[in-house]
């Protein structure tokens, strides 16, 4: 069995030309974490090799070298890199996810290329995978890939991790291709983000764009459950924590000390990007120098900026503004012995960067928006016995874990100024205490743990889906049920109405029985061996209006009313609802647009199916909290169903109707079907050998599952349809005569 890790880039650097290529391993955090991942699977990696190679001979040479390392290249053309990577990935998705809507570009060629490249990755994976393999897809460049793979391989185990922020619904909805991207992501079994905020935004967006409802952090699509989780990515803690003790890093520390002398060093390390807040940081430092002149010639800002996409217009403009801002600060404040901003526009080696981390008195990490930001964690890990203060943007994913940093709003220049001042004046003992608490967290939440936690959650999701598939009402299961049905002499058939016999409607009054439903119930009831019961939470007046002409039994309002032999019976007296209870419910109707209250004789139901998904769920929880005390006092039960909160007497439920039916006679075949949590009461009250089928979300109480309501009527029709009868002697003779005549005519013509 193999684990295929799929990312835009392979974890290697490729260089060379004209048939001579060399490979070197990348030092990225993702590469480090996945290399050390302990798994029974053989690890492989799929991605672009980093060069646009034209000649087939060169492609074959590179492929041979890479595959010897379990790396499998997807070759892309220059136009694909321009439109898929620089275009849709980094000029459309990246700015949108980082809340820079003004930089978002929309071009049809971008989207077309994004689809094309995702399909290339899909085809490459299809060439390699075997049954039992797993595919772990990384990041925003490949958001369509899970869905593409799912269409080809219904049982493939697919995981996806999103390494950048996922924006709020209000922003993501702007994207023209929003639905296609969300459907693509939902092809995975397990989807994870760095923080709970991103996870919440994703769930909210799916619910509002695709009108698919989550239950907590899970959603069921067909015969699959997709689980969404928050898993903060860490670093290789020991690599950075132990670095200052290495000779080559000690030498780099000595060089750094000589460079900065006795000045306090504020370190800033970023890739060139507008999301990093570099200009805000510089302006904050300039304001600090203006308001705290006592620190002149005592503090230096060491700014490391790694070049990135500086040929793109918005990045070129950013680079120019950074250069101008640094020039302005240095021009205004520099002396012969002091340069306020020491600017490095290039990447540093691991040894040099570790030395800078170790030496720096302050790390100024203030992105305007960042998925995680590992620089903050690397800085804290590198402070092996050396004090220091981390100033961290609350907009970075790392801020969720690193609460002992000085957290600031990076858009507020004054907060940057005050944080620098506080950091410079912080006692050494407090610095050490804060660092130790943060080190305790990040030393436990390492990149290895992140990868292991992802695999564990992914495996749990996959096993849950395997279990769900076993409960699926397959054609083989239908044959088994049909065989039991045909052999039985006394059958009890219990059927829920809404969501089972009829599809759920936005307006409950629209769920009238179709002619097909009436025909099926009529066929079931015509068999004298069948006792057919529609066991519903519906009002008994509605059930009588819709189904009263059929020769079947009806149980309404969760068993409070039942109809047998054409006569309705009342199990309990009409409840007089208190004014306090009604006022609470009416208050929630008033403040929740598109909700409504249904008043029955034995129950009250607050429906919110037509409401905004987020608001409806919020109000349902608030309403439940409000009702708890008053319902306890009045000995009433609160039920949370599918988009409904119901208040009723605890004396009767769908299970009590089952008990009443079972007390009448012995049945050798029992079938129960339902879609709601209230139907679990029915399933639990039945003998274990009963055929219990949950529609929609899988239930532990039911032994079978149907993914959609549309499967119910065909299933019931299969039960009532008679098997093809054996041919009578006369019909056999007639068919033989026809065959002999056909043969005679054939011989005559020849």
Residue 495 β-bridge partners = 534, 673
How many whole angstroms separate alpha carbon 138 and alpha carbon 8? 8
Cα separation of 619 and 634, whole Å?
A: 22
Instruction: Tell me the C-alpha distance between 263 and 268, whole Å.
Output: 15
Contact between 271 and 306 (Cβ < 8 Å): yes
Laid out side by side, the sheet with 603-607 consists of 596-599, 603-607, 644-648, 637-641
- Comparing CA positions, the residue from 9, 71, 120 lying closest to residue 62 is 71
CB within 8 Å of 238: residues ≥ 6 apart: none
Dist CA 217 CA 208 (whole Å): 15
Beta strands in 262-348 (DSSP E): 264-271, 299-306, 341-344
Provide the b/e sequence for 269-306 (b: ≥16 CB within 10 Å).
bbebbbbbbbebbbbbbbebbeeeeebeeebbbbbbbe
Tell me which DSSP letter residue 687 carries. -
Task: Of 382, 377, 340, give the one whose Cα is nearest residue 253.
Answer: 382
CA distance from start to end of the chain = 61
Whether residue 138 contacts residue 451, with contact meaning beta carbons closer than 8 Å, is answered with no
Closest among 80, 332, 167, 356 to 243, alpha carbons compared: 356
Catalytic residue among 133, 361, 496, 498: 496
Hey, what are 646's tokens?
A: 């119901």
Q: Is 496 a catalytic residue?
A: yes
Are 259 and 221 within 8 A, CB to CB? Answer: no
Q: How far is CA 103 from CA 193, 229, 312, 319, 558, in A?
A: 24, 29, 12, 15, 56
Joined together, the tokens standing for residue 385 give 């016995």
Write out the two tokens for 8. 């835009």
- Alpha-carbon distance of 423 to 405, in angstroms, equals 10
Six-digit token pair at 298?
A: 């005592």
Alpha-carbon separation of residue 276 from 98, 382, 393, 656 (angstroms): 10, 22, 10, 62
How far apart are the C-alpha atoms of 555 and 540, rounded to whole Å? Answer: 8
Alpha carbon distances (Å) from 613 to 211, 406, 579, 618? 8, 36, 29, 9
The encoded tokens of residue 654 equal: 């769908």
Beta-strand runs (E) in 169-324: 190-193, 218-221, 224-230, 264-271, 299-306
DSSP string, 29-86: HHHHHHHT---SSEEEEEEE-SS----HHHHHHHHHHHHTTTEEE----HHHIIIIII
Positions marked active-site: 496
């Amino acid at each position: 069995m193999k684990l295929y890790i799929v990312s835009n880039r392979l974890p290697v650097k490729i260089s060379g030309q004209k048939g001579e290529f060399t490979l070197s391993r990348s030092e990225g955090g993702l590469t480090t974490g996945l290399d050390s991942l302990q798994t029974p699977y053989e690890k492989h990696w799929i991605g672009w090799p980093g060069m646009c190679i034209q000649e087939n001979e060169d492609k074959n040479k590179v492929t041979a070298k890479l595959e010897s390392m379990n790396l499998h290249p997807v070759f892309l053309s220059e136009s694909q890199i321009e439109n898929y990577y620089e275009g849709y990935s980094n000029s459309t998705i990246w700015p949108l996810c980082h809340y820079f809507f003004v930089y978002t570009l929309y071009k049809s060629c971008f989207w077309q290329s994004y689809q094309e490249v995702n399909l290339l990755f899909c085809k490459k994976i299809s060439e390699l995978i075997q049954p039992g393999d797993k595919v772990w897809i990384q990041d925003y460049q490949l958001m369509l890939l899970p869905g593409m793979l799912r269409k080809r391989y219904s049982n493939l185990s697919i995981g996806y991790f999103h390494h950048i922020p996922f924006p709020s619904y209000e922003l993501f909805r702007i994207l023209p291709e929003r639905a296609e991207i969300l459907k693509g992501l939902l092809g995975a079994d397990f989807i994870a983000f760095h923080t709970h905020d991103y996870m919440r935004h994703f769930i909210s967006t799916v619910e509002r764009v695709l009108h698919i409802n989550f239950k907590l952090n899970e959603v069921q699509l067909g015969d699959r459950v997709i689980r969404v989780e928050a898993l903060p990515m860490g670093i290789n803690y020991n690599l950075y924590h132990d670095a200052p003790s290495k000779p080559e890093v000690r030498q780099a520390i000595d060089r750094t000390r000589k460079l900065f002398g006795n000045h306090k060093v504020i370190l800033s390390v970023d890739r060139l990007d507008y999301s990093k807040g570099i200009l805000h940081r510089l302006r904050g430092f300039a304001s600090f120098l203006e308001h705290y002149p006592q620190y002149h010639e005592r503090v230096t800002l060491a700014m490391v900026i790694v070049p990135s996409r500086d040929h793109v217009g918005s990045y070129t403009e950013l680079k120019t503004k950074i250069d101008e801002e640094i020039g302005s600060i240095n021009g205004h404040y520099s002396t012969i012995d002091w340069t306020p901003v020491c600017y490095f526009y290039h990447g540093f080696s691991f040894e040099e960067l570790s030395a800078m981390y170790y030496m720096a008195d302050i790390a100024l990490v203030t992105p305007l928006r960042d998925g995680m930001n590992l620089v903050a964690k690397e800085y804290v890990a590198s402070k092996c016995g050396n004090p220091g203060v981390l100033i961290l943007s609350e907009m970075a994913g790392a801020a969720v874990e690193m609460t002992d940093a000085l957290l600031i709003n990076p858009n507020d220049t004054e907060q940057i100024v005050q944080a620098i001042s506080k950091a410079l004046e912080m006692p050494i003992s407090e610095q050490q205490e804060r660092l130790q608490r943060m080190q305790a967290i990040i030393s436990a939440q390492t990149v290895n743990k992140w990868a292991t936690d992802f695999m564990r959650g992914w495996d749990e999701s996959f096993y849950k889906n395997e279990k769900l598939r076993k409960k699926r009402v397959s054609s083989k299961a239908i044959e088994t049920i049909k065989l039991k049905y045909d052999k039985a002499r006394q059958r009890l058939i219990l059927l829920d109405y809404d969501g089972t016999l009829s599809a759920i409607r936005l307006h409950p009054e629209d769920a009238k029985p179709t002619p097909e439903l009436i025909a099926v119930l009529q066929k079931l009831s015509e068999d004298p061996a069948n006792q057919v019961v529609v066991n519903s939470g519906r009002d008994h007046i509605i059930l009588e209006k819709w189904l009263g002409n059929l020769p079947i039994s009806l149980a309404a309002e969760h068993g409070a009313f039942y109809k047998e032999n054409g006569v309705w019976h009342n199990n309990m007296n009409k409840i007089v609802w208190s004014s306090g209870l009604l006022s609470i419910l009416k208050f929630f109707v008033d403040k929740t647009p598109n909700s409504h209250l249904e008043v029955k004789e034995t129950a009250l139901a607050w429906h919110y199916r037509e409401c905004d998904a987020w608001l409806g769920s919020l109000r349902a929880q608030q309403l439940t909290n409000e009702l708890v005390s008053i319902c306890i006092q009045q000995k009433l039960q609160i039920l949370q169903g599918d988009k409904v909160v119901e208040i009723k007497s605890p004396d009767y439920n769908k299970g009590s109707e089952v008990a009443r039916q079972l007390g009448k006679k012995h049945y050798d075949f029992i079938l129960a079907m339902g879609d709601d949590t209230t139907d679990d009461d029915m399933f639990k009250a039945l003998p274990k050998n009963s055929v219990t089928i949950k529609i929609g979300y899988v239930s532990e109480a039911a032994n079978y599952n149907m993914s959609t309501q549309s499967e119910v009527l065909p299933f019931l029709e299969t039960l009532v349809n008679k098997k093809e009868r054996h041919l009578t002697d006369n019909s056999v003779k007639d068919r033989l005569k026809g065959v002999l005549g056909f043969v005679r005519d054939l011989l005559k013509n020849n």
